[in-house]
Structure 1
Amino acid sequence: MYITSIEAWKKGRKLIYLNNEPGFVLYTSEVRDYDLAEGMELSAGLYKNIEELTLKPRCKRRILHLLDRYDKTEAQVRQKLKDEFYPEEVIDEAISAANRGRYLDDNRYALQYTYEKSRSKSRRMISAELRNRGIPEALIEKALEETEDNEEALIRKQILKKSPDPGQLTYEEKQKLLGSICRKGFDADRCIKVLNELIREKQNYS
């Protein structure tokens, strides 16, 4: 492959184009150290040296930096590394290492996110947000199952906030109440179940 272009990128770094496609990023000093120039053929041996000695160690450090303050999903980290022009094989190896070390753990992320958000959001909303963050469907379902009781507690809280004694509501008022809660993304069947439980509890108490 040939180095077709070397362009200024960010903070003293250069983006190396290989066969007219973005290849990888190096600091200006590293471009000099590896004696890279536009138009030269990049041998397999030199490319391997760049990967092994510079790109792979840097990519692994970059992942640790990305996770330093906030947990992230594998998909989020992978996309960030792609945006920074790390080669695919470099990203794969670095992410595998992060998974082995439990620095990246989509299962942990899904459980923690679901637990925290289940106090204020519906299962449907949480599921959509996790999906947008690249969490696999199986892990989303597992996390939601483990926090299922939290949603019913939240529905109960929503109902009692709107009506301290739902048993006194007319049929139309109950439908209006259920509709307002379901529009927030809560499951309709679960809302009806909780409403009926609350009505029975009030009846038994009185």
Structure 2
Amino acid sequence: MFKKITPKTKDDDVAHALNAALRCLTRREYSRIELIKKLNLRYTKNATDAAVKKCVENKWQSDERYAQTLFNHIVNQCYGPRKLMLEASKKGLSQSYYQEYLEETDWTEIAVKFLKKRLEVREYTFEEQQKILASVARRGFSNSSCISALQRFLSEE
């Protein structure tokens, strides 16, 4: 009635693992940890490590490039620094790759951009302002950035 599931054996061929890694990297950027996790599903640890090492040596995979791509995505979607740190840690990036972006970016301006996309400029009650602040904070902005962004947004009437 039910098909019996047998565990597949993992491939030990480095060339196959490298080919799979290159197929992945042609579609989009991957962090090194993310690529290792993906390859470990079908290939042995030795094959995966050798393939990823070759990708890094030939600069086909770069955590710096991945951090730049992640940063651009976060900023374009109007998320804050906390979201960037969360996503980077999920993907296995060390803080050294994105620390520069955190320091150089005007996060308040990004929060104002988010408010301009979502709201119309008008008078808001105190309760409405609290909801707006909560909405901006949920996107990963600090409390000070949220408050200054709302003040700047409301003053642009």
Same fold (TM over 0.5): yes
Maintained 8 Å contact 1:73/1:106: yes
Residue 11 of structure 2 is matched in structure 1 by: 25
Q: Distance in 2 between matches of 1:154 and 1:73?
A: 25
3-state SS in 1 of match to 2:76: coil
Aligned length in residues: 150
Residue 3 of structure 2 is matched in structure 1 by: none
Q: Distance in 2 between matches of 1:70 and 1:144?
A: 23
Could you tell me how far 1:158 is from its partner in structure 2?
Answer: 3.4
Residue 65 of structure 1 is matched in structure 2 by: 23
Residue 56 of structure 1 is matched in structure 2 by: 14
Maintained 8 Å contact 1:114/1:144: no
Q: Distance in 1 between matches of 2:129 and 2:146?
A: 11
Q: Distance in 1 between matches of 2:82 and 2:25?
A: 27
Which of the residues 127, 130, 137 maps onto 1:182? Answer: 137
Maintained 8 Å contact 2:31/2:92: yes
Residue 137 of structure 1 is matched in structure 2 by: 95
Residue 77 of structure 1 is matched in structure 2 by: 35
**Higher strand share goes to which structure?**
1
Identify unmatched segments of 5+ residues in structure 2.
Answer: 1-5
Structure 1 moving runs of 4+ over 4 Å? 168-173, 198-202
Cα 1:164–1:62 shift into 2, 3 Å: same
Cα 1:79–1:8 shift into 2, 3 Å: closer
Q: Distance in 1 between matches of 2:128 and 2:63?
A: 42
Could you tell me how far 1:139 is from its partner in structure 2?
Answer: 1.6
Q: Distance in 2 between matches of 1:163 and 1:101?
A: 49
Which of the residues 45, 59, 70 maps onto 1:87? Answer: 45
**Higher helix share goes to which structure?**
2
Identical amino acids, percent of aligned pairs:
22
User: Based on CA coordinates, which of the two structures has the bigger radius of gyration?
Assistant: 1
Identify unmatched segments of 5+ residues in structure 1.
Answer: 1-6, 10-14, 16-23, 27-54
Maintained 8 Å contact 1:110/1:143: no
Could you tell me how far 1:156 is from its partner in structure 2?
Answer: 0.8
Maintained 8 Å contact 1:76/1:133: yes
Maintained 8 Å contact 2:31/2:61: yes
3-state SS in 1 of match to 2:27: coil
Could you tell me how far 1:187 is from its partner in structure 2?
Answer: 1.5
Residue 157 of structure 1 is matched in structure 2 by: 113
Could you tell me how far 1:122 is from its partner in structure 2?
Answer: 2.5
Matches within 5 A, 1:106-117: 106-117=63-74
